[in-house]
Amino acid sequence: MIKKVAILANGGDVSGFNAVIRAIKRTAETHGIECYGYIDGYRGLVENNYIRLDGNPLANGILPKGGSIIGSSTNAIVFHYKVEHEDGTVTYEDLSDKCVQNVKEAGFDCVFTLGGDSTQKSARDLFLKGINTIGVPKTIDNDVACTDITFGYNTAVHVATEALDRLHTTAETHHRIMVLEVMGRFAGWIALESAISGGADVALIPEIPYDIEKAAEAIEKRKKRGKPFSVVVVSEGAHPINKEQTTHSAEGIDNEAGISVKFGGEGNRVAKKLQELTGLESRCTILGYMQRGGTPTAYDRVLSTKYGAKAMELALEGKFGVLTVIQNGKLRICSIRRSNRKQ
């Protein structure tokens, strides 16, 4: 019998977090189950910091709201957790046993983990330690294995498409090459689909190392057809043939915790090179965090609601150690004992 559950939102924020939380909470309420939320993702799990959501005004009217009402953490890995001591020293410790103890003492029959690849790997390992977990795939990158789509992705593509529509008019007016750099890390989904929906002339994605000469040729062909402007979409993880991605160190990055470097800057590199090769003035816009925030699209609201309701139904059925997924348009489940990045 499920009597008490908790939700944990982890990783970078996306539009749809709150819609999933709402769906889990409302399905729980329908069955008389208490629903709680850990504050700031896995950090809340380590610190045993949680609040009750059912009957809480904080959880009302959150369907169209971006972000997460219970926060999220991007650098809390419970199996390699950063601990700052009073003497100023820092160590990295496995606090997973403490997390297991916190969950059991709180009496939670299931913890729902809303997050991407890293989040679900930790959920898998906590499940193997005896905690009932059910994962919900989240990331704007759309690179979680086993599912056709993650919540948050559609909104990111929508934002990128709107940006391309606006850049298109500027490109045409001033006879320029307008480059839009979008997020995605190792996955080119946002770049590819926004390029299609936004009518871009060139799309550069991580999965296919690019030849800048070929991109320039495509733009030159447009010039000869009387179109002295072009719109180019560049995924932040794209890179030329035989060269690495453009990365940088940013404040707050914790390499000891196993957090990768930040991507960014490839758009500027592409814009500069295309200007040299074509003679057309080029400008780069880096969309950045605009893709993560704000109101979710109708699609993401529906998808998130489906995911949340399904996750709670799985808990009622006693099916744990699984990830809710969409396959061929249908809600299904897969084991989270193995996790691989979607290709």
- Do 91 and 85 touch, CB atoms closer than 8 A? yes
Residue of 319, 323, 327 lying closest to 337 (CA atoms): 323
Asked if 191 contacts 163 with a C-beta cutoff of 8 angstroms, the reply is: no
For residues 242 and 209, the answer to whether their CB atoms sit within 8 Å is yes
DSSP-assigned letters across all residues of 124-156: HHHHHTT--EEEEEB-TT--BTT-S--BTHHHH
HEC profile of 25-52:
HHHHHHCCCEEEEECCCHHHHHHCCEEE
Active site residues: 141
Max alpha carbon distance in the chain (Å)?
71
**Would you say how long the chain is, in residues?**
343
